[in-house]
Structure 1
Amino acid sequence: MSGPGDFEIGIGLQSDKRAGDYARLGRLAEEHGIDVVSVFGDLMYQPPIFPLLEIAAATSRVRLGPACLNPYSMAPYEIAGQLAALDLASDGRAYLGLARGTWLGEVGIAQPRPLTALAECAEVVRRLLAGDTSGFAGELFSLAPGTALRYPVRRARPPLLIGAWGPRGAALAGRVADEIKVGGSANPAMVPVVRERLRPGAEEAGRSVDDVGIVLGAVTVVAADGAAARARARREVAMYLAVVAELDPTAEVPADLLTRVKAEVAAGRDDAAGRLIPDDLLDLFAFSGTPEQVAAQARRLIDAGVRRVEFGTPHGLTDDDGVLLIATEVAPMLRKAAR
C-alpha cells in the first residue's frame, strides 16, 4: 500500500484541441509540479500520439502516456512503435496505457477475447522493445522469428498501465502491469476492491500486489465558484453514470434514478439529468467544486492507498483555468497534507 507521501498527481487531457494548446497546458502542468500528463485515446478524437509528442517537446520532467490505446484499432507492432517514438522524444519519460477500448462497434471493429488480446499485445510490445527476436505464437497476435524493430529504442521496458474495472482485467494487470487505472471513479471504497482483484494475477507472477500502482481518475471541474463547478460536473457525469454505476460494486445507485437520468440524457436535457444526481453520488464519480473540495476528495483516495490521482477533462470552467487551479492550489494542498 502507498504511504501518505507516496503518490503522484496527474492530469488527463482530451485530444480535442488545436496545435499549440497541448504544449501550453503541458508546460503549465510541469511548471507547477504535476507529475504525469496523460492523453485520452477516446473514439473519434485526435490520436493521442500527436498531443503527446507536442507535450514531450515542451516539457522535460513530467511522465507522459496515452490512456489508453487498444489492440483492436491499432496493431501491437504499431503500438510498440508509437511508444518507442514517444520515449525517444521525451528522453525516457513515456508510459503505455492499454485497455480493451470502448464504442468500437460504432466503426465496425469487433473486440473478441479482450483479455487475451491485451495480454498478447503487452507481450508483443515487450518483445519488440527488448529486441527479443525469438518469435511469439499467440492465439490472436504473433511475431515471426527474427522480427525486430529497425530503429533504436530509448528503453526496453517503459512502464505499462492497464485500464480495467473488472476482476479478470485487474488480475491481468496484477500479472503484467506497473499500474492499473480505474477510469471514471473518485470513490475511495474502490481501492481495496481493486487491490484484491489484482492479487490473483500478482501471486501467479510471483509479485507483491503492492508492486502495481492503483490509479483512479475521473471528470474534474474545479473553480473558485464551487457551485458552478459542481453543476458542470453533474452534467458530465450524467452522460456516463449508467455505465460506471454498474461497474462499481460498492456504489448503491437506485435503479429508478438511473432510469430517469438516462431518459433525460437521451432527450438531450443534460442539465436536467445532472440535477437529478445527489451530492454523495456525484463525489463517487467526479472531482468537483472549489480547490479545497477537490483536494479533500483526492486526499481520501491517497489515504486509501491510491498511487496516482488523475484529474480528467474538462478540469475547470475552461481547460486553462482548471489546469492552473489543479497545479497551483489543489496539488500544493495535497503535498502539504502529506508532509
Structure 2
Amino acid sequence: MTRSFEVGLGIRSDHPFGEYGRIAVAAEEAGIDVLSVFADLWFQPALPALLEIAGATRRVRLGAACWNPYSSHPYELAGQMAALSIASQGRAYFGLAKGTWLGDVSIPQPRAIAHLRECVDVVRLLLSGDRSGYEGEIYQVAAGVGFRVPLPEILPPVLIGTWGRQTMAMASKVADEVKIGGSANPDMVRVVREWLAAGSPARGDAVGVVVGAVTVVDEDGEAARAVARREVAMYLAVVGELDVTVDIPQDLLSEVTTLVRADDHDAAGALIPDDLLDRFAFAGTPDHIAQQLHALGEAGVRRVEFGGPLGTGDPLAALDLIGRRVLPAFA
C-alpha cells in the first residue's frame, strides 16, 4: 500500500510541562506528520504546549484543534498564531471551530458561521500586515492599526472543525482543511468531499478532509477494541447523530447513554458492535488499523489524526508501535 495522506497525533492539554516535548519528539521519530493540541474547556490553554512542541521538533506541522471565536477575539488568536508560526519557523496551522461546552461559562454562540468566516478574515488580515482595516457584520478593525511584532512570511493554512453541511459550504470558500472530530468513517469522508465540492465548485475539491478519533492499538486486538469501546461509548450519542451515513438504533443509543451516565463504561462499550466501532475509532492490531487507514485513503482523506489513549498501557509504547507496524505498511 502507498500513503496519499498525512498522519497526525492529537494531544490533550493535560500533561505536565516538559512532557509535551517528549511526546512530540517520539511522534516525529515515529513518522507522524502533524501534531495537534486540543483547545478544550477546563484544560490548559493550547499555546504553551504548542510552543514547547515547536521548540522540540524540526519537521512536523502543528496547531490547535481548535480555537474558537467566542472566548478569544480574532486579534488575540492572530497574535497567538504569529507567535506560534515564528517559533515553529512556519510550520503552524490555524485551527478554528465553533467551540463546545461554552454554555457552562455563559458564553453564547450566535451566528456561528458568520463568526467563523469573519474570524478567518480578520486573522489573515492581521497576520499579513495589512492595515487597511476591516468592516464586518461582527468584527471591525480600524484602518492604520496592526501588530508591532514579527509576522509569518507565509500565512498559516486554515483548518475549520465542523460536521455541519452549511459550515462546510462556508469552509469550502475560505479554509484549506476541514476536520470531522470523532470519526474514522470512509463513507463520511466521501460525503464531506461532496459537500465541499457543492459549496464551492471553484475550490471545494482542493480543501482537504481531516478525520480524528479515539485510537487504541495493541498486538492484542481484542484488548485494544475493548478499551476503545469504553472510550467511544462516552461520545457515541453525539457523533452518532452527526454522521449522516450511519443509522444507529435509538434504543442502542439510549441504553449506551444511560450506562455512561451511571458510570458503567464497560457495559456501555460492550453494546457497541464491531462495524459501528470501526466508524468512530481506530482500534485493534497494527494490521487492522492499517486497513482502516487504507480505506480512508481510498475515500480521499487528506489527514488521519490519532487521538488518545493510543494504547492499552503506555501511550509512548503505542506510538512506537504505530511507527514500527502501522505506518511502514504504506512504505
What's the offset of the Cα at 1:4? 5.7
- Separation in 2, partners of 1:36, 1:327: 14
Indicate whether 1:266 and 2:264 are aligned: no
What's the offset of the Cα at 1:192? 1.6
The secondary structure found in structure 2 opposite 1:189 is helix
Aligned to 2:236: 241
Per-residue CA distance 1:11-68 (angstroms, 9 max, x = gap): 1111111111110111011112211111111111111111111111000000001110
1:167-182 matches, within 5 Å, as 167-182=165-180
Change (3 A) 1:4 1:113: farther
Query: TM-score with structure 2 length normalisation?
Result: 0.97
- Separation in 1, partners of 2:144, 2:185: 47
Aligned to 1:71: 69
Alignment partner for residue 50 of structure 1, among 35, 43, 48?
Answer: 48
Indicate whether 1:290 and 2:285 are aligned: yes
- Separation in 2, partners of 1:12, 1:177: 20
- Separation in 2, partners of 1:171, 1:299: 27
Aligned to 2:198: 200
What's the offset of the Cα at 1:201? 3.1
Q: Which amino acid aligns with 1:321?
A: A
What's the offset of the Cα at 1:322? 2.1
Alignment partner for residue 311 of structure 2, among 286, 305, 316?
Answer: 316
- Separation in 1, partners of 2:135, 2:199: 22
- Separation in 2, partners of 1:4, 1:291: 16
Given that 1:238 and 1:273 are in contact with CA atoms closer than 8 Å, whether structure 2 keeps it comes out as yes
Aligned to 2:213: 218
Structure 1 gaps, min length 5: none
Per-residue CA distance 1:182-223 (angstroms, 9 max, x = gap): 1100010011210111123323xx32x221111111010111
Q: What is the identity percentage for the equivalent residue pairs of Structure 1 and Structure 2?
A: 58
Aligned to 1:117: 115
Number of equivalenced pairs = 330
What's the offset of the Cα at 1:325? 1.7
Change (3 A) 1:201 1:155: farther
Q: Which amino acid aligns with 2:152?
A: R
Alignment partner for residue 326 of structure 1, among 303, 322, 326?
Answer: 322
Aligned to 1:29: 27
Indicate whether 1:158 and 2:156 are aligned: yes
Query: TM-score with structure 1 length normalisation?
Result: 0.95
Given that 2:90 and 2:154 are in contact with CA atoms closer than 8 Å, whether structure 1 keeps it comes out as no
- Separation in 1, partners of 2:304, 2:126: 30
Given that 1:126 and 1:156 are in contact with CA atoms closer than 8 Å, whether structure 2 keeps it comes out as no
- Separation in 2, partners of 1:232, 1:27: 26
Given that 1:4 and 1:302 are in contact with CA atoms closer than 8 Å, whether structure 2 keeps it comes out as no
Q: Out of 154-163 and 70-79, give the one that drifted further.
A: 154-163
- Separation in 1, partners of 2:99, 2:323: 29
- Separation in 1, partners of 2:323, 2:152: 29
The secondary structure found in structure 1 opposite 2:305 is strand
Q: Which runs of 4 or more aligned residues in structure 1 lie more than 4 Å from their structure 2 counterparts after TM superposition?
A: none
Alignment partner for residue 139 of structure 1, among 102, 119, 137?
Answer: 137
Indicate whether 1:91 and 2:89 are aligned: yes
Given that 2:196 and 2:205 are in contact with CA atoms closer than 8 Å, whether structure 1 keeps it comes out as no
Indicate whether 1:275 and 2:270 are aligned: yes
Q: Which amino acid aligns with 2:50?
A: L
**Structure 1 vs Structure 2 CA RMSD:** 1.3
Structure 2 gaps, min length 5: none
- Separation in 2, partners of 1:155, 1:327: 32
- Separation in 2, partners of 1:44, 1:37: 20
The secondary structure found in structure 1 opposite 2:179 is strand
The secondary structure found in structure 1 opposite 2:82 is helix
